[in-house]
Structure 1
Amino acid sequence: MDYIVDDLPLHVLLVHAVIVLVPLVGLALIVIAAWPAARRVLWLPVLIAAVLLVPLGLVTIEAGKWLQARVPAAPLIEAHTSIGESIVPWLWALLGVAVLVSAWAVIELLAARRSTGTEERRPSRGLRIAVNSVLTVAALAVTAGAGWTVFQIGESGSRAVWEGSFSDEPLEQ
């Protein structure tokens, strides 16, 4: 398969989406884990985004492998590609936490629908606080790990492309 779009390598296009979407999905995950009102409204869009992020990351990696085979070997490119796949476990972790937060949102929504008048069928306040706390800590940890990994991969990729290829001073036109 050719990973080219409009005469550009697909990797250089997709990588920008991954760089933006990983922290964005992570931040949204933190918000819905910590804030029950937001969770009731946003759990499904955040879950869908996390589901789509996994194949997006995998296609970006495959497009990167395709591109690597078509550029001269260089230490900076080797450094970038050696850590490129380290994002995959974090993408799965983001999805896993999104599934857990979504499951909790569904449980809360179903319990709220079953509650009638004076009969309270929602989980106890203590359980809600405990689950919200665990989900929030999990979202914070996974977002931090995924964000740091994306930063490292992106930084090494930008070095591979740009280091030594521009002048410190403006060029005369």
Structure 2
Amino acid sequence: MSTFNGLPAHILLVHFIVVLAPLTAILAIAASIWSGVRSRLVWLIAALAVFTLVLTPLTTEAGEWLEKRVPKTAAVEQHTEIGDWMIYFSVGLVVVAAALVFLHLGERRGNAPVRWQSIAVMVLAVVIGATTIVQVYRIGESGARAAWDDVSATAGDE
């Protein structure tokens, strides 16, 4: 899928990642801290994490298709290199979601999680969640520079 309705698919798909990855990260952090949030949202978090994981390679493939059709610049190259790392953060979100499901299923069976398990999942969620949010920002910022630097430079001349 290189275009959708005449627009580059990357431009459309990237908006899903920009919303879903940080949203999933924030929900996962909240669910790792509060069991009430976990019991209500664990399956939504798992679904969002898997959906983000599925969309990530589609988005990067669409971006590579687009990269071949735009002028080669350092900004485009940097965006592509940073964007290629997003798959690891998406996998991390799935790992966190799986850990939350593990805690949730134990709680549903009446087994309170062992303290170290809760702490480990919380640390994992905070570290992976925070780094995912930062990475999405870095990718988006580099993509905006790749797409709009020439326009903003021209606008500054007026």
Answer whether TM exceeds 0.5 for this pair.
yes
Select between 159-168 and 87-96 the one with higher mean Cα deviation: 159-168
Q: Which residue of 2 aligns with 1:47?
A: 46
Instruction: For residue 123 of structure 1, report the CA deviation from its aligned partner.
Output: 3.3
Q: Relative to total residues, which structure has the larger helix share, 1 or 2?
A: 2
Q: Which residue of 2 aligns with 1:68?
A: 67
Aligned-partner Cα distance in 1 for 2:116–2:27 = 20
SS at 1:123 equivalent: coil
Aligned-partner Cα distance in 2 for 1:13–1:123 = 43
Q: Which residue of 1 aligns with 2:106?
A: 107
Alignment of 1:123 with 2:112, yes or no, is: yes
Aligned-partner Cα distance in 1 for 2:74–2:120 = 42
Root mean square deviation of aligned Cα: 1.5
Q: Which residue of 2 aligns with 1:20?
A: 19
Aligned-partner Cα distance in 2 for 1:123–1:155 = 42
Instruction: For residue 154 of structure 1, report the CA deviation from its aligned partner.
Output: 0.9
Q: Which residue of 2 aligns with 1:163?
A: 149
> Aligned to 2:122, which of 136, 146, 154?
136
Aligned-partner Cα distance in 2 for 1:123–1:76 = 50
Q: Paired residues, what number?
A: 156
Aligned-partner Cα distance in 2 for 1:123–1:107 = 7
Q: Which residue of 2 aligns with 1:115?
A: none
Select between 23-32 and 65-74 the one with higher mean Cα deviation: 65-74
Deviations 1:32-87 (A, max 9, x none): 11111111111111101101110111100000001111112122111111211111
Instruction: For residue 131 of structure 1, report the CA deviation from its aligned partner.
Output: 2.2
SS at 1:32 equivalent: helix
Instruction: For residue 10 of structure 1, report the CA deviation from its aligned partner.
Output: 0.6
TM value normalised by structure 2: 0.92
Tell me the percent identity: 31
Aligned residue identity for 1:141:
V
Aligned-partner Cα distance in 2 for 1:61–1:10 = 10
Q: Which residue of 2 aligns with 1:91?
A: 90
